[in-house]
């Protein structure tokens, strides 16, 4: 017996003991039923008659009280709209009870005749009460049913009107006589669906081909269509008619960043009936096309948002346009300053390639991962009795998002051809091993869709039109779908989307804001899975060092701003015009600008180094001072300019700023200072400061306290 069962047995025995001591518990607030009501009436009448006979009460009083009760219940029944038989039964019960009481007070209540008649009256009252209660329940149910019938009749009348209207319209426009079986209104109130039976050998394509004509004949608003889809079998069709254009309004990405899964679908937008579109990419690749200004970049961010929320997906991004598609998902983590005891924030994408070389590293690693998974997980797939690798949080799927990847596949440039060959190999070989791609393109042209691999594997297809007609051949992108026209979706972020689960149709992508991207990165940081050990070992150093300083140095240029003139010359805030001769600028101003830039770069690189354990950066060249000369100074054009290098760190006594650094460390007390904080204080590069402090610690001027990423230097007075 478990602990729970023992506890329940003990509680039941205690309850039985309490009932044995105190008896059954009466609910005095409950209303009377037929039995208790009759019992209460008869016992009350007997008590009044006995008391009245013993005390010499006038018998007429009991009759007066019964008459008053009958009148009161009659008035209450009329107010409650009870049936006449119910009102009569209750009034009769009062009068009969009052009459018996009056008779018993006169002739004595303790005779067998009095007691027998009272019992008969009780049985009669109980039977009458039961009968009237059943009748009232039946009346109430009938009233509700009648009300529902009225509602159904009103709806049926509306549905019959819609059915008759569309039967006539389809006959007139398409030349097909259908029989409407049902009309269902959408919950969002933006349209309805008609379930129609087709005559003879007619197929639904006959109606789908006249979608635009049906929409025009019905005078639907712009952006609303009447589209025919396959029904429950080939002899029936579902005609979706949108009456409210939900595509013209901009809707932000849902603020609910709940966990998602690749197996349950990832939402990419919503249909004209306001229902979300779920994409299932376990075995499918995706293709997103859209010209400039159609909202394609926003769509990419929506896709990355869904992958970031998934608990079984790792996202690799290739964007050769300066990595712009993935930077918004990386920088919030790189710029995050974790508090003491807080874990560093993880980027929203697991790997970002902004150059051709980095893209080659990524694709080579992905191919190695796929091939190693095929070998190492044979036993797992045998146990699961499947030919598809079981994807989950422990073995995540890798989604390779390639911005303008379709253009890479069709490029004639030799470096791009090598990249394209690897992308095609990923698409062709690694479906079963949980590695799929999402490609984007500028248009659905023959050059993009001419590759059989793209057409065969990219079953999830999106066309963001934005009203652009050039290069948008919807017939090639959605073969077999008729009635799709670009001018049906002239809004930014709107277009057509088709998946294996839902036919091509109008849809709208959410607008995702930069602030939401930062929120999603923070909200999903702990949710991202880690690459399984088999895959991580196969990926090797290319994957392990993907966040090393030298490979993400290009991300540090995001804060670079144009040079502005000095204050006070009347042109504040405007870019400097004309010849820019560095030799004409004041040396101290240039040095200040350089120091500020160094501090920003050193701070960002310090955060990356501490969070991701990257290797130290090569030591930068020492800055060379330029002697001041009268007249036009073109020394910037000469290679043999004299320089005055800073003393080597670690030399006897160290550089001039070392004394200031030691004083700052002394003022910091026992907590000490990190090398990055010292570098910010003295305005020097982090590498130079680290070597100088290391030399000072070797001389005994400082004490180094090793604590991993939180290591500090402490003054000997506080050590």
Burial of 75 (0-12, 13-18, 19+ CB in 10 A): exposed
pLDDT in tens, 628-667: 444 444 444 444 444 434 444 444 467 888 888 888 888 8
When mean pLDDT is compared across 265-269, 481-485, 500-504, the lowest value belongs to 481-485
pLDDT at 196: 92
pLDDT band at residue 8 using 50, 70 and 90 as cut-offs: very low
C-alpha pair distances (Å), 497 with each of 263, 303, 454, 501: 20, 14, 16, 11
Same domain, 181 and 132: no
Residue 15 lies in a domain: no
Cβ–Cβ < 8 Å for 715, 667: no
pLDDT band at residue 414 using 50, 70 and 90 as cut-offs: confident
Q: Which residue has the higher pLDDT, 402 or 583?
A: 402
The residue written with tokens 């017996």 in the block is: 1
Q: Which of 226, 242, 258 is the last residue of a domain?
A: 242
pLDDT band at residue 174 using 50, 70 and 90 as cut-offs: very high
Q: Which of 188, 207, 242 is the last residue of a domain?
A: 242
When mean pLDDT is compared across 219-228, 510-519, 581-590, the lowest value belongs to 581-590
pLDDT at 168: 94
Residue-averaged pLDDT of the chain: 78
pLDDT at 273: 79
Same domain, 79 and 194: no
Residue 73 lies in a domain: yes
Same domain, 321 and 455: yes
pLDDT at 599: 54
Percent of the chain with pLDDT over 70: 75
pLDDT at 688: 85
Same domain, 75 and 97: yes
Name the DSSP letter for residue 24: P
Residue 603 lies in a domain: yes
pLDDT at 471: 61
pLDDT at 626: 45
Same domain, 317 and 231: no
pLDDT band at residue 12 using 50, 70 and 90 as cut-offs: low
pLDDT band at residue 613 using 50, 70 and 90 as cut-offs: very low
Q: State the Cα–Cα distance between residues 634 and 687, nearest whole angstrom.
A: 31
Instruction: Check which CATH number belongs to the domain holding 365 and give it.
Output: 3.40.50.300
Neighbours of 646 (CB within 10 A): 16
When mean pLDDT is compared across 213-217, 502-506, 510-514, the lowest value belongs to 502-506
pLDDT at 640: 44
Residue 392 pLDDT > 50, yes or no? yes
Same domain, 353 and 444: yes
- Helix (H) or strand (E) holding 271, with range, is strand 266-271
pLDDT at 607: 56
- Domain limits for position 534: 266-339+347-546
- Helix (H) or strand (E) holding 51, with range, is helix 34-55
Residue 687 lies in a domain: yes
Please tell me whether residue 704 adopts helix, strand or coil conformation: strand
Same domain, 448 and 471: yes
Same domain, 118 and 203: no
Same domain, 600 and 719: yes
Cβ–Cβ < 8 Å for 100, 43: no
How many separate domains does the chain show?
Answer: 4
Q: Which of 92, 126, 145 is the last residue of a domain?
A: 145
Residues 539-562, mean pLDDT to the nearest whole number: 79
Residue 130 lies in a domain: yes
Residues 152-174, mean pLDDT to the nearest whole number: 84
Q: Transcribe 380-441 into DSSP letters.
A: HHHHHT-SS---SSSSPEEEEEETTHHHHHH--SHHHHHHHHHHHHHHHH-TTTTEEEEEEE
Cβ–Cβ < 8 Å for 396, 531: yes
Q: State the Cα–Cα distance between residues 648 and 612, nearest whole angstrom.
A: 29
pLDDT band at residue 341 using 50, 70 and 90 as cut-offs: confident
pLDDT in tens, 522-548: 999 999 999 999 999 999 999 999 998
Residue 169 lies in a domain: no
pLDDT at 594: 44
Same domain, 137 and 216: no
pTM (2 decimals)? Answer: 0.59
pLDDT at 170: 93
Residue 360 lies in a domain: yes
Instruction: Check which CATH number belongs to the domain holding 663 and give it.
Output: 1.10.10
pLDDT at 445: 63
Same domain, 99 and 38: yes
pLDDT in tens, 115-147: 777 777 777 777 777 777 777 777 778 877 777
pLDDT in tens, 84-114: 767 777 777 777 777 777 777 777 777 777 7
Task: Identify the CA nearest to 90 among candidates 59, 115, 69, 116.
Answer: 69
Pairing of strands 179-185, 505-508: unpaired
pLDDT at 427: 92
Cβ–Cβ < 8 Å for 311, 506: no
pLDDT at 316: 96
- Encode 159-183 in three state secondary structure: HHHHHHHHHHHHHHHHCCCCEEEEE
Same domain, 529 and 658: no
Residues 46-71, mean pLDDT to the nearest whole number: 71
Residue 171 lies in a domain: no
């Amino acid at each position: 017996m478990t602990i729970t069962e023992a506890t329940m047995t003990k509680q039941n025995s205690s309850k039985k003991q309490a009932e044995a001591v105190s008896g059954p518990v009466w609910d005095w607030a409950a209303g009377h039923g037929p039995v208790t009501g009759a019992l209460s009436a008869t016992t009350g009448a007997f008590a009044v008659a006995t008391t009245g006979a013993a005390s010499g009460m006038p018998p007429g009083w009991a009759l007066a009280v019964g008459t008053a009760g009958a009148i009161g219940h009659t008035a209450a029944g009329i107010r409650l709209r009870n049936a006449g038989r119910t009102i009569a039964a209750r009034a009769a019960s009062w009068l009969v009870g009052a009459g018996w009481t009056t008779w018993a007070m006169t002739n004595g209540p303790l005779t067998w005749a009095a007691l027998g008649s009272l019992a008969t009256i009780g049985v009669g009252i109980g039977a009458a009460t039961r009968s009237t209660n059943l009748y009232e329940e039946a009346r109430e149910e009938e009233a509700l049913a009648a009300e529902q019938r009225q509602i159904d009749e009103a709806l049926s009348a509306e549905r019959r009107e819609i059915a008759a209207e569309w039967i006539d319209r389809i006959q007139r426009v398409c030349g097909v006589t259908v029989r409407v079986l049902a009309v269902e209104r959408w919950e969002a109130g933006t349209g309805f669906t008609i379930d129609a039976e087709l005559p003879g050998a007619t197929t639904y394509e006959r109606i789908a081909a006249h979608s635009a004509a049906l929409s025009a004949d019905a005078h639907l608003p712009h952006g609303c269509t009447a589209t025919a889809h396959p029904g429950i079998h080939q002899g029936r069709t579902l005609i979706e008619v949108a009456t409210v254009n939900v595509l013209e309004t901009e809707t932000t990405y849902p603020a609910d960043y709940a966990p998602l899964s690749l197996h349950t679908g990832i939402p990419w937008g919503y249909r004209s009936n306001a229902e979300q579109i779920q994409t299932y990419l376990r075995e499918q690749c995706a293709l997103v096309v859209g010209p400039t200004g159609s909202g394609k970049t926003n769509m990419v961010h929506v896709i990355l948002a869904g992958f970031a929320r998934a608990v079984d997906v790792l996202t690799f991004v290739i964007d050769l346009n300066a990595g712009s598609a993935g930077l918004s998902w990386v920088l919030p983590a790189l710029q995050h300053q974790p508090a003491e005891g807080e874990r560093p924030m993880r980027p929203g994408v697991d790997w970002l390639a902004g150059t051709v070389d980095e893209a080659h590293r990524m694709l080579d690693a992905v191919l190695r991962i796929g091939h190693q998974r095929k070998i190492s997980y044979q036993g797992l797939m045998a146990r699961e009795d499947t030919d598809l690798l079981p994807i989950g949080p422990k073995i995540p799927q890798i989604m390779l998002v390639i911005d303008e990847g379709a253009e890479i596949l069709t490029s004639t440039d030799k470096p791009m051809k090598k990249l394209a060959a690897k992308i095609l190999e990923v698409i062709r070989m690694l479906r079963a091993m949980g590695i799929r791609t999402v490609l984007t393109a500028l248009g659905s042209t023959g050059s993009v869709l001419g590759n059989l691999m793209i057409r065969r594997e990219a079953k999830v297809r999106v066309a963001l039109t934005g009203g652009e007609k050039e290069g948008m051949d919807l017939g090639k992108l959605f073969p077999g779908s008729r009635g799709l026209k670009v001018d049906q979706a002239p809004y930014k972020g709107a277009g057509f989307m088709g998946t294996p689960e839902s036919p091509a149709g109008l849809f709208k992508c959410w607008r995702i804001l930069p602030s939401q991207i930062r929120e999603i990165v923070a909200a999903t940081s702990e949710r991202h899975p880690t690459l399984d050990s088999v895959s991580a070992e196969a990926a090797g150093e290319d994957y392990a060092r993907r966040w090393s300083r030298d490979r993400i140095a290009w991300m540090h240029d995001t804060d670079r701003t144009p040079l502005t003139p000095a204050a006070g010359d009347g042109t504040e805030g405007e870019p400097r015009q004309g010849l820019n001769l560095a030799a004409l600028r004041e040396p101290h101003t240039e040095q200040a600008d350089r120091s500020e830039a160094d501090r920003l770069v050193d701070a960002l690189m310090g955060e990356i180094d501490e969070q991701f354990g990257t290797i130290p950066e090569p030591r930068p060249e020492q800055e060379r001072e330029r002697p001041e000369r009268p007249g036009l100074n073109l020394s910037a054009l000469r290679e043999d300019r004299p320089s005055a290098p800073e003393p080597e760190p670690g030399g006897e006594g160290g550089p001039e700023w070392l004394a200031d650094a030691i004083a700052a460390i002394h003022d910091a007390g026992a907590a000490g200072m990190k090398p990055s904080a010292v570098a910010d204080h003295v305005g020097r590069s982090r590498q130079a400061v680290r070597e100088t402090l290391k030399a000072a610690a070797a001389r005994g001027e400082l004490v180094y306290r090793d604590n991993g990423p939180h290591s500090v230097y402490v003054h000997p007075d506080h050590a």
